[in-house]
Amino acid sequence: MYSLGIDIGGTSIKACLYRMGEPGGGLEAVAEPLRQATPSDGSYRSMLDLLHRIIDHHRELIPSEQRNSGMQIGLGTPGLVDSRGYLRGDAVNIPGWTGVQLKDELSEYAGVEVQVANDVNMAAYAEWRLGAGTGSDSMVFISLGTGIGSGIITRGGPVAGHTGMAGEIGHLVVEPGGRQCKCGLKGCLERYSSASGIALTAQELAETGGPELDGPLRSLIQGNRIQRSRILGNPIPEQRAVSDVAPPSVAPATVDFRDVPPGASSTAQPRTQRPAGPDNPADAQGVYEALEQGDPLARAVHASSSRRLAQAAAAVAHMLNPRLIVLGGGVLAAGDVIVQGVKEHLHEFVMPMALDDLEIRRTVLGPDAGMLGAAAMAADFAGEGYSLSSS
């Protein structure tokens, strides 16, 4: 039996076909994951056509003698997905998807009931079934990337909420009257502890902080070209003005900080290729590279982000009392320091009696979690009873 996991992202769609082994056999990838660019016209029709082609392509990968036994399909998508698999409200990255009945349309095409859920909920499902949360009866997965989202697992299953909004932790207000968020509120967690929020805090503190924050990162942000050349490893001759220096003739980076798997070296992406800008997620990488060197500004930015994350984690702990909170998403490329930072501030916000049994861990599945979770949810729906360990 086979299960196809599809993960729709803002710029690309990833899909992978897994073989569901005998009980105890796990989920085994049949081929390398497929990655396709999201249709440039952004229309629902184009997206649906692409999804049909992805389904057809993967069905062909199944040996013909086994094709009749079917292929389960799971799909994670941005936006709010209610418990029936319907998209509600605008999916942030895919305009025009309001109210589409993606589940019904795909199920009719594929001839099986397709499991559809929010992409972060799918990643949460993967961590619960096959990753950091294996064996726990209640778990919350928080994804820290360009934005912030979470997926809730309680009593052995995911929680979508009445309208699919359960887990929208990125829009928990942690700073009343603070930074404007695209959702309409001010002071949302996402504006402080996502990759772009971290970069923005660095920018703000570089401009307004006291002399105790002076260091290489501040110099870099303030455009000190000598310090900048040292940090970027791309010396600029002293006698030339910055404006005289031609932009580096390197190809654009293909590795995105938001997509770096946990444990990957932060130097995997050549630093000279990282675009600058206060709202660019790549700049969070710069903050955490500077933190490794003990930079005072980076320490202040990290503390600020961690404290607000701890505030949000405390809300989760008090409301849901989960056994485990798993942190994932591109920001975790910075390493265990993110988990450590949250732990250091938790005691400020969580009742002491609730702290003892609360564990915070880092993702073990990385950027493929959404795809894997979609396949796992579809496999579970079919009741195939594969093992709880990944293969």
* Minimum distance, C-beta of residue 196 to Zn ion, in the bound complex (Å): 12
Tell me, by CB under 5 A, how many residues bind Zn ion: 5
* Residue 194 or 390 having the CB closest to Zn ion: 194
In the complex, minimum distance from the CB of residue 181 to Zn ion, in angstroms, rounded to a whole number: 3
Instruction: Tell me how far, at minimum, the Cβ of 151 lies from Zn ion, in Å.
Output: 18
Which residue from 185, 255, 276, 355 is in contact with Zn ion, where contact means CB under 5 A? 185
Which lies closer to Zn ion via its Cβ, residue 92 or residue 255?
Answer: 92
Stretch binding Zn ion (CB under 5 A), from 61-69, 188-196, 241-249, 264-272:
188-196
- Nearer to Zn ion among residue 165 and residue 185 (C-beta): 185
Nearer to Zn ion, 184 or 210 (CB): 184
Using CB under 5 A, which of 188, 195, 309, 332 touches Zn ion? Answer: 188
CB of residue 24 to Zn ion, shortest distance in Å: 44
For Zn ion, give the closer residue by CB, 183 or 236.
183
Closest CA to 13 of 4, 2, 22: 4
Contact mark string toward Zn ion, 362..391, x via CB under 5 A: ------------------------------
Q: Does 302 bind Zn ion (CB under 5 A)?
A: no
Nearest distance in Å: CB 188, Zn ion: 3
Question: To the nearest whole angstrom, how small is the minimum distance from the Cβ of residue 165 to Zn ion?
Answer: 12
Closest distance of CB 10 from Zn ion, Å: 17
Burial class (CB in 10 A: 0-12, 13-18, 19+), 375: buried
Residue among 20 and 169 whose Cβ is closer to Zn ion: 169
Contact 47, 38 (CB under 8 A): yes
Element of type H or E holding 161: none
Q: Cα dihedral sign for 239, 244, 248, 252?
A: positive
**Distance of closest approach, residue 186 Cβ to Zn ion, in angstroms:** 8
Which of 75, 123, 181, 287: binder of Zn ion (CB under 5 A)?
181
Segment contacting Zn ion by CB under 5 A, of 45-53, 148-156, 179-187, 370-378: 179-187
Residue the block writes with tokens 């990125």:
170
- Binding residues for Zn ion restricted to 134-173, rule: CB under 5 A: 171
Alpha-carbon distance of 133 to 361, in angstroms, equals 9
Q: Is the CB of residue 248 less than 8 Å from the CB of residue 275? A: no
CA distances from 54 to 2, 16, 61, 270 (A): 15, 10, 11, 32
Q: Is 42 left (phi over 0), alpha (psi -120 to 50) or beta?
A: left
Among 1, 61, 183, 255, the residue binding Zn ion under the rule CB under 5 A is 183
Distance, in Å, from the CA atom of 105 to the CA atom of 113, rounded to the nearest integer, reads 10
Pick from 95, 31, 176, 119: which is nearest to 328 by CA?
Answer: 119
User: With left for phi above 0 and alpha for psi between -120 and 50, is residue 157 left, alpha or beta?
Assistant: beta
Closest among 96, 90, 102 to 41, alpha carbons compared: 96
One-character DSSP codes across 250-307:
-PPP-S-GGGPPTT--TTSS-GGGPPP-TT-THHHHHHHHHHHTT-HHHHHHHHHHHH
Binding site for Zn ion (CB under 5 A): 171, 181, 183, 185, 188
